[in-house]
């Protein structure tokens, strides 16, 4: 069953289901858990996948893969935050798909551009995703984002987590492209100072 058909099926009936109940359904091997997941988080998943992949068909296939991964992972996995767990799986699948499509075009696309920008202050961003050092770095970045006004935090997350283009950010936040670039440059410099203060650079 495709993601879109799941999402449309009994959406009103399942959208209010709590995450704990969805987890219980997954543990009981109840396929309605996928229906509930698609209804509750479908729009968010599509937005994240589209930001990374830029293609509706690729995004839907990515979401289908994420739902299958959730079904195969739970049990035995028992995530404390189901929404975060789902989005992490989705994002990793989307990035893997993106990397596969861009393998012969290294340095092009929003994903590569955003990582190049972060490489100024986070050396090895592309090669240390599973190391302890990288996890500590990401936790520090999260703490840094909590100190920012919402718009600045959103801009940073959209650019470096969801790989949105400068043009999309400018449109969505009523800014010029140059203003977005300048704001993100200043945020990267502030982040660099913060990480040095934390002893991570």
For residue range 28-79, list pLDDT tens digits in order: 998 888 888 888 888 888 888 887 777 788 888 888 889 999 999 888 888 8
The verdict on 1 and 99 lying in the same domain is yes
Closest CA to 63 of 46, 51, 39, 78: 46
Q: Which domain holds residue 39?
A: 1-103
CATH of the domain at 141: 1.10.10.10
Q: Is the alpha carbon torsion for 112, 98, 167, 125 positive or negative?
A: negative
Residue 194 in this model has a pLDDT that exceeds 70: yes
H/E segment holding residue 149: none
Q: Are residues 57 and 150 in the same domain?
A: no
Q: What's the CATH number where 65 sits?
A: 1.10.1740
Do 89 and 171 share a domain, yes or no? no
Q: What is the pTM of this model?
A: 0.51
Residues 27 and 115 occupy one common structural domain: no
Indicate whether 83 and 117 sit together in one domain. Answer: no
Shared domain check, 75 and 43:
yes
% of the chain residues with pLDDT over 70: 75
20 shares its domain with 94: yes
Residues 68 and 131 in one domain: no
Boundary of a domain, candidates 45, 74, 103:
103
Structure-token match 């650019």, residue found? 159
User: Last residue of some domain: 82, 103, 124?
Assistant: 103
Side-chain-side CA neighbours of 48 within 13 Å: the count stands at 22
- pLDDT tens, residue by residue, 134-155: 667 777 888 888 899 999 998 9
Please tell me whether residues 155 and 132 are part of one structural domain.
yes
Q: Are 182 and 176 in contact (CB under 8 A)?
A: no
Which two structure tokens, joined as six digits, stand for 193? Answer: 């100072």
Q: Are residues 95 and 132 in the same domain?
A: no
Q: 76 and 110, same structural domain?
A: no
pLDDT at 159: 85
**153, 89: one domain:** no
Domain edge (last residue) among 78, 103, 128: 103
Mean confidence (pLDDT) of the chain: 77
Domain total of the chain: 2
């Amino acid at each position: 069953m495709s993601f879109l058909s799941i999402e449309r099926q009994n959406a009103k009936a399942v959208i209010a289901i709590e995450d704990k109940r969805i987890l219980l359904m997954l543990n009981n091997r109840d396929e309605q858990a996928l229906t509930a997941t698609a209804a509750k988080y479908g729009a968010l998943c599509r937005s994240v996948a589209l930001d990374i992949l830029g293609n509706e068909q690729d995004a839907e296939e990515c979401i289908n893969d994420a739902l299958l991964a959730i079904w195969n992972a739970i049990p035995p996995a028992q995530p404390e935050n189901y929404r975060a767990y789902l989005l992490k799986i989705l994002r990793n699948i989307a990035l893997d798909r993106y990397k596969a499509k861009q393998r012969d075009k290294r340095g092009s696309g929003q994903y590569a551009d955003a990582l190049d920008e972060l490489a100024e202050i986070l050396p090895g961003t592309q090669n240390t995703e599973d190391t302890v050092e990288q996890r500590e770095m990401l936790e520090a970045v999260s703490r840094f984002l909590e100190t920012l006004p919402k718009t600045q935090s959103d801009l940073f997350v959209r650019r470096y987590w969801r790989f949105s283009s400068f043009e999309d950010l400018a449109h969505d936040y009523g800014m010029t492209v140059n203003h977005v670039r300048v704001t993100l440059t200043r945020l990267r410099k502030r982040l660099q100072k913060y990480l040095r203060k934390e002893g991570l650079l």
